[in-house]
Amino acid sequence: MSIKTFIKGSFVYAGSAFIFSIIRQIVFFPLIQKHSPELFGKISFLLITIDFLIYTFGSSLADYYVRLVTKTDLQKNKYKFLFKLSLFSFLTAIIFFVQEFSVLKSFLLGAYMVVFSANTLQLKVYFNFLIFKKNYFYVFVRLIPYLVLLVLTLFFDISSIDIFITLLLISELIAFFVLYKGNIQLGFNTAKIKQENDLNILKFVFIYLSFALVQRMDMFVIEHFFFDNYVNYYQIVSIFLIGVNPIVLVTSSSLLSILTKVDISVFVKIKIKIIVAIILIGLLSGLIFTFLAPFLIKIFYPLNMLLDEFSGLSFIVVFFSIIFFISKSFIIKYVNINRMLILNILTICISLFFTYDFFVFAPVFFITRGSLYFMFLFNLKESKV
């Protein structure tokens, strides 16, 4: 794996993911908030819940598969088992129902989670072949619900989360059949392949539940403990992530698939250089966004004054989020799963200790998460695989 190949693959993937991020964060959410604040609140909470569940049930299967893959073994037998296991994502319908969605909406969202989980896994096949261009197709299909709802809201005054949920399922089904056909052409999910069960995935799913909590814990805590600040907080953090996403998309999102071709011994040799690069990138991005964030918030959310009460929050979110997301890819690939669980439990427990005050919890959460993951990355050794 050459540096040139890594950079090329990362930028190809980042381009597609960046399009999705920009349209959702810069176009969709600000316009929906302006024309229908109630719909903004409903969709933001729905997407937070979906992100949490898809990380637990979908990303766990995909990343477990990537963790198994080596340069010489694509693990097609176990992939077939994991693909069928994605059907269990339908159990999330129960969680949606508990969250006070109707029976029909819960059913549609459960079906959506099944297809989304399968698509997340199917994309990893393309990424393992370094075919990152396929993500452009997937991104454009996933944007359909957002763009349709935006048009309906702006031009027809139709603000319906029911339509949004239905379109989420339809768009994923469109992507599913295209990705599935391509997977077969790449030699996956064919009748000739004998399925190999691997129940170790159950432990991995549980660990990814802790990952999901760590990744979106701030939103869940603020939604439950500091509800009055939830919408304003969601708005400013979505702006902060504009400073995080370009770096993370280039260096982290495609990194896990690329690491299937990199032995840990290679990483250990250049670990210090990688760590220094991560710190410098984080510092530069954090400092730049410290100046940009107030202007962007005034442009997209002019009524939001929450940032005025948070000293240095934009730097903290950007810097420590970059540290967290990049470190996470190495940790998922190389660290023993028991140690991953300890890391996540430690992050959750320390953060929960500061839920007594909104203005304390928010910065402490990002600092704790980024620092602990960075410490694990720094201490990563070949013997700890």
pLDDT per residue rounded down to tens, the chain (385 residues): 455 665 666 677 778 888 888 899 889 999 999 999 999 999 998 999 998 898 888 888 988 888 888 777 789 999 999 999 999 999 999 999 998 899 999 999 999 999 999 999 999 888 878 788 898 999 999 999 999 999 999 999 998 999 999 999 999 999 999 999 999 998 898 888 889 888 888 888 888 889 889 988 999 899 889 989 999 999 999 889 888 877 776 655 556 556 656 666 666 777 788 888 889 989 999 999 899 999 999 999 998 989 888 878 999 999 999 999 888 888 877 788 888 899 999 999 999 999 999 999 999 999 999 999 999 888 877 554 4
Same domain, 287 and 344: yes
Could you give the CA distance from residue 385 to residue 382 in angstroms, rounded to a whole number? 6
* pLDDT score for 258: 60
For 48, the domain range is 1-197
Same domain, 222 and 139: no
* pLDDT score for 385: 44
Token pair, residue 295, equals 């202007």
Q: What is the DSSP letter of 100?
A: T
Same domain, 172 and 223: no
Could you give the CA distance from residue 110 to residue 47 in angstroms, rounded to a whole number? 14
Same domain, 257 and 346: yes
Same domain, 125 and 231: no
- Phi first, then psi, for residue 71 (nearest 5°) are -65, -25
Please report the beta strands in 194-311, taking only residues with DSSP state E, as ranges in sequence order. Answer: none
| Domain edge (last residue) among 153, 168, 197 | 197
Same domain, 193 and 204: no
CB 90 within 8 A of CB 109: no
Could you give the CA distance from residue 224 to residue 230 in angstroms, rounded to a whole number? 9
* pLDDT score for 384: 45
Burial class (CB in 10 A: 0-12, 13-18, 19+), 291: exposed
Concatenating the DSSP letter of every residue in 315-371 gives: HHHHHHHHHHHHHHHHHHHHS-HHHHHHHHHHHHHHHHTTTT-HHHHHHHHHHHHHH
| Domain edge (last residue) among 148, 178, 197 | 197
Same domain, 273 and 359: yes
**Is the Cα dihedral 215, 221, 222, 228 positive or negative?**
positive
Same domain, 209 and 354: yes
* pLDDT score for 141: 96
- Amino acid 89 reads S
Same domain, 224 and 365: yes
Could you give the CA distance from residue 218 to residue 234 in angstroms, rounded to a whole number? 10
Same domain, 213 and 189: no
Same domain, 59 and 182: yes
| Domain edge (last residue) among 197, 228, 250 | 197
Cite the DSSP H helix spans in 158-199. Answer: 161-185
Which secondary-structure segment (H or E) carries 131?
A: none
pTM value surpassing 0.75: yes
CB 115 within 8 A of CB 133: no
Token pair, residue 144, equals 């359909």
Secondary structure (H, E, C), 144-158: HHHHHHHHHHHHHCC
Token pair, residue 161, equals 């989360």
Same domain, 150 and 228: no
Token pair, residue 152, equals 């309906």
Could you give the CA distance from residue 316 to residue 254 in angstroms, rounded to a whole number? 24
Domain count across the chain: 2
